[in-house]
Amino acid sequence: MEEVYNNLKKAIPEERLLKNEPMHKHTSFKIGGPADIFVILKTLEELKHVLYIAKSNNIMVTCIGNGTNLLVRDTGIRGIVIKLDFNEIHINGEEIEAGAGVKLPTLAQIAYKNSLSGLEFASGIPGTVGGAVKMNAGAYGGEFKDIIISTTYLDEELNLHTISNKEHKFSYRNSIFSETNDIIIKVKLKLIKHKQENIKEKMDENILFRKQKQPLEFANAGSIFKRKNEYIPAEIIDKCGLKGYNIGDACVSELHAGFIVNKGKATSEDVLKLIDHIRKVVKKQYGVDLELEIKILG
């Protein structure tokens, strides 16, 4: 890894190339052991360089967004962890092209300032564009599948591709990228011209609802389990009497039972044991197998 680090250093500034970087600094859960190498990339050329070196040395690569739906194990992540700082935004009429690293609240604000409607649902989601496309992020009746025109991505052979909306094979919190190692570079979105005051009203309403219904005062990774047509995880977890149940500093939120919060010093082991306990209780009482929405890394 030292040799790999030295090779990377030839193309990446040292302030963006970190060894044994604690992942708790880069996840909303504030949990996770060290990444062997953590690198923040600003250009496609830098990304290709890192991937080429990794492939040449048979080193695993993990790409993250804003770390908002991740649980990183206490032992950390081997190999190279990439965070994309691709933040370019271009507006052409009712279309917006945004880099994978653009934060969703930032993009929603820019859409609003340009009188473009369609991103109001994303105004309070703390993730990035790339992560949102990968998991078809959504809230308050809106999803990314509703507004995507195309996505440009880099495959494992370092070739660029652009796919249309239908080719994403979107489903609930899932897309074609959920099962591949392809890296999303940028996305083109189709929005609609609308009055600014109406857009602002909807954004404010969504943000207020989020503040009232979600435990934002504690570190968390959003909804732990996926919703299904047959059930809402938070409702059945609540009915099982699990609100407030804790293992260490990992606790089922008393405000929203679909969230696990870190009350200070929770470890990934605490969270994983709590997830396992919730699943067993729900299975016993309701016969339901809860499916994870968060991703576990490491």
pLDDT of the chain along its 298 residues, tens only? 999 999 999 999 999 999 999 999 999 999 999 999 999 999 999 999 999 999 999 999 999 999 999 999 999 999 999 999 999 999 999 999 999 999 999 999 999 999 999 999 999 899 999 999 999 999 888 999 999 999 999 999 999 999 999 999 999 899 999 989 999 999 999 999 999 999 999 999 999 999 999 999 999 999 999 998 889 999 999 999 999 999 999 999 999 999 999 999 999 999 999 999 999 999 999 999 999 999 999 9
Fold of the CATH domain 2-84:
3.30.43
- The CATH code for residues 89-198 is 3.30.465.10
Strand partners for 171: 174
Give the start-to-end residue ranges of the domains of the chain. 2-84, 89-198, 215-297
Distance CA 200, CA 214 (A): 21
Set 21, 123, 143, 173: catalytic member? 173
Domain 215-297 classification at class level: alpha beta
- Is the pTM higher than 0.75? The answer reads yes
Catalytic residue status for 293: yes
Q: How far is CA 207 from CA 4, 139, 231, in A?
A: 43, 11, 25
Catalytic residue status for 173: yes
101-104 long-range contacts, CB within 8 A, separation 24+: 101/65, 101/128, 101/129, 101/130, 102/128, 102/129, 103/66, 103/127, 103/128, 103/129, 104/128, 104/129, 104/132, 104/137
Q: How many residues does the chain have?
A: 298
